[in-house]
Amino acid sequence: MNNAKLYKVPGFCQRNGGAVAAQSRKVQGRTIMLQNAGLVIRGHDEITVDGTSPEAADPCDALFHALRQLGFEPQTHYCGNQITTAGIPYLLPVMRVLSSPSDSGRLLRALSDLVRQQVPLTLALTDLGSGDIALQSMQTLCESLRSGLSGYGLSAEGIGLCLHSHQMPLQAFSVIANSVLGNGPRYVFLDSLQMTRHCNPTVQAETDANWSFLWRQRKSPAAVLPAYGGMVRSACPLLSEEVAASVLPVAGVQVPASTAWLPIEIPLTNFTDSAGHMDWLQLLPALTEAVRIAEQVHDHLAWSFPRQQADAHLHRRLAFSLTGLGDLVLRRAWCPANIDSLDWLSGIVQRIRRELYAASALLTQKTGPLPAFARA
């Protein structure tokens, strides 16, 4: 319970006297217990921050300092002298790449550049085939990554992998990936096949085996972590849903491939007392200010992947993660398995989400609509 994370990201559309304003950011909603993720081969206002650190070397450092002063933790990553965040969610059609020497070469060159720059990334694997073919595809891919990057003097150990739960037995996925590449981040998308009770006993047995495996290895340092939810949705009804086919490195939230996010952690224990009582008078205005500051951070981030650069300009996405939900239950001496405890936690998440939506809508009134909405 202590490690559970609830990810919420708002998008908003507001009508004022008939005018439609789509917010200048997204805030996504999702329940997850994971960390890290997946590239796609396609042929291949003025900053005003109160309370900033006088030692801040540049505007981005000042903005991050302001977020921390509010009680939040921006999840940042440095590549050389540039600040990036979250890493690259990369979608990889395995059999297509393996069957094409030119595609394989482009992939290895792209990955070698990213690994050399220490950009976090995880490959979301598609087109694996089924049965024994899927297992062989996984084995061949991992061996190709290891040998190919080794030729550049690089290690593939830090590369994350994720796949859908129905593509192969999860234990086989873990054994192949970790034995060849090392204990990098590993994720499984729990799709509808995994989340549904089946009449077919064979299918249900496979589903049960996956759940049992996830439970048995949950505390392992090389655990396969589950990802839930296959869509990202803005609160604006004029913006369509997006398929979340990958997982965002660093933050570990399921997102569309090649999208650009600024992940910010909300440690709820920073806003509660020793008895587990929420300090809403502190948290709610802090959330509004965090959205305003985080919107400005987007203008100072570096993106290592061209499609992320374009997405950052069009969508200006924020990913807020809540941590410490289990700690709140423990501080109240409640049973974490009790439905009343879960209902109480759900109410906290919903109130925070509403505040983020409202902050996003307020920001829209001041800065105008999302570039993606204006473009559409």
pLDDT tens for 86-114 read 788 999 999 999 999 999 999 999 999 98
CB-based contact 97:40 (threshold 8 Å): no
Q: Give ∠ CA 197-4-348 in degrees, rounded to 5.
A: 100
Task: Read off the pLDDT of residues 217-274 as tens digits, 9 standing for 90 and up.
Answer: 988 888 999 887 788 877 777 778 899 999 988 888 889 999 999 999 999 999 999 9
Regions of the chain where pLDDT drops below 70: 1-57, 78-82, 84-85, 374-376
Number of separate helices (H) and strands (E) present in the chain? 11, 18
The whole-angstrom separation of Cα 257 and Cα 250 is 15
Q: Cα-flanking dihedrals φ and ψ of residue 31, to 5°? A: -110, 125
How far apart are the C-alpha atoms of 251 and 33, rounded to whole Å? 11
Contact 250, 87 (CB under 8 A): yes
Q: Which helix (H) or strand (E) holds 181?
A: helix 170-181
Taking the model in full, what pTM does it have?
0.77
> What's the Cα-to-Cα distance from 105 to each of 89, 109, 128, 154, 366, rounded to whole Å?
20, 6, 19, 15, 47
* Percentage of the chain lying above the pLDDT 70 cut: 81
* Beta-bridge partners for 243: 231
